[in-house]
Every structure is written in structure tokens, then in C-alpha cells.
Amino acid sequence: MDKTPGTLTADDELTLQTAAHGVVCLMAVSDPGAISSTRAGMAAGKAITSATGLVGRVLAAKPKGLKFDGRSTADIADQVFDAVRRSLALLDAKAPDETDNFRAVLTTAIDAARQARPRPNPAQAAMAAKITALLDAS
């Protein structure tokens, strides 16, 4: 593994993209209803596009090979949670100055998705708590 700061392979970039876009997806699917889930997804997606630094450049690029496997939210969550863990580990190893930036981007996406709805949604709050706990633990 190359430890040059800021050097990410295409696979590393796909891992970060999977994590970030996966968080957007999970926040959207946890908000039932076509209109509210669309609003949540759009708000979280816009938050991701506001990222800066190396993380911002990676997330701004069109993901090549990004695909969520599974038929259920649980299947997608398994893939996304793994990508979040791996993203934090690889940023710690290759671009440690970007680790907190990545956490902040995902936290902002979660907050944006939650604020897209006028009333609290228990399912979305639970998903946000799971993702936040993962970010805090890694």
C-alpha cells in the first residue's frame, strides 16, 4: 500500500465513492414515500458535492463501477458500512489530513437528509444513528 499522502488508487476512490453515495442512498431509503425519499436523497447528495480537498475531488468525479448489490436495505447497508470502515482506514493510512474531512462530509449529508423532512422520521433517525456510530467508532 502506497503511503504517499494524497495518493489514492482507483480502487481507493471507488471505496470512498461507495461509502459517500451509499450513505446518501441509505438516508433516502430510510425515509418512506417517493417525495420525501427523493428530497432526502437530493439534500444529502448536494451535501456530498460541497466537499472540498482531496475528498471533494474524489466525490466530484463520476464513479466508475459504483454499484450497490442486494435486494434489501440490510444488504446495501452491509456494503456501505464496510465501505465507510475501509474509507476511514485508507484515509488514515494514505491521507490522514482528509479523514476528518470525510467524516464531516458524511455527517453533513446525514444532517441534510434529515432536515429535508419537516417532521422527524424514526426510521431515518435510526439509520442516521447507525452511520454516526460507525463514523465515531472507526
What are 67-100's pLDDT values in tens digits? 888 889 999 999 999 999 999 999 999 999 999 9
Task: Determine which helix (DSSP H) or strand (DSSP E) holds 115, and give its type and residue range.
Answer: helix 99-115
For range 11-34, the mean pLDDT: 91
- How far is the C-alpha of 86 from the C-alpha of 122, rounded, in Å? 28
Listed residue (89, 98, 96) closest to 134, CA to CA:
89
Q: Write the CB contacts of 67 (distance below 8 Å, at least 6 apart in sequence).
A: none
- How far is the C-alpha of 75 from the C-alpha of 80, rounded, in Å? 9
Supply the pTM of this predicted model. Answer: 0.90
Is the per-residue pLDDT at 20 higher than 50?
A: yes
**Length of the chain measured in residues:** 138
Q: What Cα–Cα distance (Å) separates residue 64 from each residue in 14, 15, 117?
A: 7, 11, 31
